[in-house]
Structure 1
Amino acid sequence: MISIKGLTKTFATPSNRITAVDDLTLDIKEGEIFGVIGYSGAGKSTFVRLLNRLEEPSAGQVTIDNQDITALNSNQLRLTRQEIGMIFQHFNLLWSRTVKDNIAFPLEISGVAKQERDKRVQELINLVGLTGREDAYPSQLSGGQKQRVGIARALANRPKVLLCDEATSALDPETTNSILDLLVDINAKLDLTIILITHEMHVIRKICNQVAVMEEGKIVEQGDVLNVFRHPKQQVTQKFVEQVMGTSEEHGDVDELVNRYDSGKIVKLHFIGESANQALISQVAKLFDIDINILQGKITQMQQGAYGTLFVQIDGEKAEIDSAIAYITEETSVEVEVLRNVE
């Protein structure tokens, strides 16, 4: 669906040149929700603006649905942009227009007849949950309602791709979740490809299928969201995962955890998918003559299922401890990592 090759954007300043996006290559499948995450200055917002040429690339190629976006002239680009919707952090609504008139605006520009335009606007108002607010002005709306107007407007011309540039960053947590649920619903109903730019791993965790981590203009890590959570390779990715899981796995923290106990083994358990809902601890305690002490951990829901990390102390005779660990490793889908023998 979307193929990006060698995409680069360099800005010239009086004293030097800054490379905001650095030789970025990426493929995004049709119909998926693809997340791009990075801290401020990573280049992610510049990257998403390059996809519809709100920023002109310095080098590279962007192909959407077999069409080379970077090769289009201004007239061709204007028509193609109708197939690429975009929503923004601060909504970018027309404050002198009502909800329905904001949503109708791109249809007016496209020359859609009024009767067809009115029908499409009402469809979108119903889709985004704004029925009854058609005649309200942006100043009369909450932040979440404003973003729903922005989403409806972006969908007006039935785009193939929806670009979301920090679309939930200005919203409170509850409203953020409602907007993310709406994006998942739209993705399923319309089979729409969504590219979501954010600095919040919670957003990635909740709705994305794939994620790319950006740092200093480059993609430093990429993959299935669940796999990235399970095995974050880069330090920046590890920090993002810690945002959601609420546990740090730095060596010093593990050492502190282990040093509290003077017997048994300290074990880290990775729960994935259905295994996160299993009563594993009580089951193992019944099967083996051991004591299990839960030290810390968290389980969180993702688009692809549940994921969790649990730190436990397993105490008892060495043979029983080893048998319990072998059972978990061989008979369940839970991953086991022995952090320290403290016998």
Structure 2
Amino acid sequence: MISIKGLSKYFTSNKQRITAVDDLTLNIKEGEIFGVIGYSGAGKSTFVRLLNRLEDPSDGQVVIDNQEITKLNAKKLRLARQEIGMIFQHFNLLWSRTVRDNIAFPLEIAGVAKAERQERVQELINLVGLSGREDAYPSQLSGGQKQRVGIARSLANNPKVLLCDEATSALDPETTNSILDLLVDINEKLGLTIILITHEMHVIRKICNQVAVMEQGKIVEQGEVLDVFRRPKETVTRKFVEQVMGADDEDESVSHLIDTYDQGIIIRLHFIGETANQALISQVAKKFDIAINILQGKITQTQAAAYGTLFVQVEGDSEEINRAVSFIHDETSVEVEVVRHAE
């Protein structure tokens, strides 16, 4: 659907060249919700503006639905942009226009007839949950309602791609979740490909299929969200994961558990996907003559699946403990590791 090759953007400041996007290459599948995360200055907002040529690239190419955006002349680019919707952090609404008229604006520019325009606007108002607010002005709306207007406006021309540049950064957590739920609903109903730019890992965790991590204009890590959460490779990625999971000083944690609990064995269980929601502990406790004490753990939910880690202390006859550990290893999809053996 979207192919990006060798994309770069340079700016000149005080006779020095500044690289905002540096030789970036990506492929994004049709219908995917693809997240791009990075701290301020990483180049992510410049990157998203290159996709619809609000910024012209210095090098490289962008191909969307078999059309090379980077080679289009002004007239063809205007037509191509109708298939690329965009929503912004600060809404960018026309303050002198009502909700209805804001949504209708891109249709007016496209020359859509009035009757068809009115019908389309009402469809979008219903889709984004703004029924009854059609005649309100932006100053009369909450932040979440303003962003819903922005989303509806971006969908007016039936785009194939929706670009979201920090679309929830100006919103409170509850409103953020409602907007993310709306984006998922739109993705499922319309089959839109969504590219989500953010600096908040919980946004990536909640709705994205894939994520690319940007730092100093480059993509330093990329993959399925669940894999990136489970095994972050780069320092910047680990910092983002800690936004959701907390700092993971696992070696220190294991040492503390070993020093604190001196009976039985201590095992670490890794839950992935459906197993994160299974009652494994109670199942094992009933099946084997052992005592299980949950020491600590954490679990999170990504768009693809849940995952988490649990430390437990197991006491009982050593042979029975071994049978229980073998059962978990052989008969379930939970990964098990003995981190402290019986004395």
Q: Is TM-score (shorter-chain normalized) higher than 0.5? A: yes
2:92 and 2:192 map into 1 onto residues whose CA distance is 22
In structure 1, the partner of 2:280 is 280
- Give the Cα separation in 1 of the matches to 2:268 and 2:87: 40
Partner of 1:322: 322
The Cα offsets for residues 238-296 of structure 1, whole Å up to 9 and x where unpaired, read as 22222222352453344334332223333322212211111101111222333322222
Q: Which residue of 2 aligns with 1:335?
A: 335
Alpha-carbon offset, residue 37 of structure 1: 1.2
Q: Which residue of 2 is the match for residue 268 of structure 1?
A: 268
Q: Does 1:210 align with 2:207?
A: no
Distance 1:154 1:334 in 2: 43
The equivalent of 1:123 in structure 2 is 123
In structure 2, relative to structure 1, the CA distance for the partners of 1:40 and 1:318 (3 Å cut) is farther
Alignment of 1:107-122 (within 5 A): 107-122=107-122
1:151 CA displacement: 0.1
Secondary structure of 1:179's partner?
A: helix
TM-score (norm 2): 0.95
Partners of 1:3 and 1:26 within 8 A in 2: yes
Matched, 1:181 2:181: yes
The answer (yes or no) to whether the contact 1:290–1:317 under 8 Å persists in 2 is yes
Using the TM superposition, name which of 23-32 and 329-338 deviates more.
Answer: 329-338
1:246–1:298: 8 Å Cα contact kept in structure 2?
A: no
String of CA shifts for 1:290-341, please: whole Å, max 9, x gaps. 3322222222322223222222223344443333222212211112233444
Paired residue for 2:151? 151
- Structure 2: stretches of 5+ with no match in the other structure: none
Q: In the TM superposition, what is the alpha-carbon distance from 1:158 to its structure 2 partner?
A: 0.5
Question: What one-letter code is carried by the residue in structure 1 that aligns with 2:252?
Answer: G
After superposition, the Cα gap between the structure-2 partners of 1:15 and 1:246, relative to the gap in structure 1 and judged at 3 Å, is same
Provide the C-alpha distance between the structure 1 equivalents of 2:253 and 2:195, rounded to a whole number of angstroms.
35
- Map 1:1-343; keep pairs closer than 5 Å: 1-14=1-14, 16-246=16-246, 248-341=248-341, 343=343
The SS at the match of 1:255 is helix
Instruction: State the distance in 1 between where 2:83 and 2:280 align.
Output: 48
Pick which of 160-169 and 39-48 moved more: 39-48
Deviates more, 1:139-148 or 1:317-326: 317-326
**How many Å separate the matches in 2 of 1:232 and 1:128?**
35
Cα deviations by residue, 1:4-49 (Å, 9 ceiling, x for unpaired): 1111112222153222211111100001111111222221111111
C-alpha separation between the residues in 1 aligned to 2:299 and 2:314? Answer: 20
Letter of the 1:299 partner, please give it. Answer: I
Greater CA deviation, 258-267 or 10-19? Answer: 258-267
Q: How far apart are residue 235 of structure 1 and its match?
A: 2.2
**Structure 1 contact 232–238 (Cα < 8 Å) conserved:** yes
Task: Check 1:265–1:198 CA distance in 2 against 1; reply closer, same or farther (3 A cut).
Answer: farther
Q: What is the distance in 2 between the residues matched to 1:223 and 1:238? A: 14
1: distance between equivalents of 2:232 and 2:23? Answer: 22
Residue 261 of structure 1 contacts residue 342 of structure 1 at CA under 8 Å; is this kept in 2?
A: no
CA distance in 2, matches of 1:247, 1:297: 13
Q: Secondary structure at the match of 2:260?
A: coil
Q: 1:16 to 1:338 in 2, by over 3 A?
A: farther
Question: How many residues were matched structurally?
Answer: 343
Contact kept, 8 Å, 1:247 with 1:297, in 2: the verdict is no
Structure 1 CA distance for aligned equivalents of residues 77 and 295 of structure 2: 57
Question: What secondary structure, in the 3-state scheme, does the structure 2 residue paired with 1:286 have?
Answer: helix
Q: Which amino acid aligns with 1:16?
A: Q
Secondary structure of 1:112's counterpart equals coil
Give the superposition deviation at 1:187: 0.5
The change in CA–CA distance for 1:89 and 1:258 in structure 2 (over 3 A counts) is farther
TM-score normalised by L of structure 1: 0.95
CA 1:241/1:340 → structure 2, altered by over 3 Å: closer, same or farther? farther
Name the CA distance, whole Å, in 1 between partners of 2:176 and 2:46: 23
Change (3 A) 1:252 1:225: same
Cα gap change, 1:256/1:216 in structure 2, threshold over 3 Å: closer, same or farther? Answer: farther
The two structures, once aligned, show a CA RMSD in angstroms of: 1.7
